[in-house]
Amino acid sequence: MANFVLVHAAWHGGWEWRKVAHILRAAGHEVFTPTLSGCGENWRHVSPGIGLDTHISDVLSLIEWEELPEVIIAGHSYSGAVITGVADRIPQVVKHRLYFDAFVIQDGQSVMELTPEWRASEILSLAESHGSGWLVPPHHPERWAEEPEHRAWISRRATSHPLKTLQDRISLTGACEKVPATFALSSKFEPSPFWQFYERYQGQP
């Protein structure tokens, strides 16, 4: 059996993985679904200083305190950057990376620079008009799920996300490249910024 660490997308929390975690636990796996600093149920503690390194440290701390000898780590959307940072710091522990509709950033890159220009401009505008310049409110719930019931479930839980996490450039040693990875694309999610990664890795092991 395996240890899974599932990391949520921006505007979401560990709750995002509830159904997946239930399936994996039923199969006998250990599953951890951390909520990152300033997100989900931690929204009351959000601050302008929360950045990408904060969220990477959140996951590293979970793995350390749970004393997990090895993990399979999954990231959705924004948290593709988070799991890349984690795998780069502890490649001896992370046995596999799974990017589910997620950003696969390289050394010196940020999530925002890999986001389409129209979308990046929208995020910055929302932060300026509704988040004091540093907090991005949840928006476009119609893009989060096809089923109205599921969409409403997500909308009730979505929280504002710290902008700095999307703007911070990651610093990588290259160690994460030694950790096997899988990229999964949701082809029904449009417009999607994730086709660029599907095309980049298609045909690679």
Of 37, 47, 61, 77, catalytic: 77
Dump the DSSP string for 92-146.
TTEEEEEEEEE----TT--TGGGS-HHHHHHHHHHHHHHSTTTEE----GGGT-S
What sign does the dihedral 15-188-4-50 (CA atoms) show? negative
- Burial of residue 163 (number of CB atoms within 10 Å: 0-12, 13-18, 19+): buried
Q: Tokens representing 83?
A: 């799991």
110 noted as active-site residue: no
Element spanning 156, H or E? helix 148-157
SS3 content of the chain, % helix, strand, coil (to 5): 45, 15, 40
Whether the Cβ atoms of residue 161 and residue 87 lie closer than 8 Å to each other: no
What is the set of active-site residues? 77
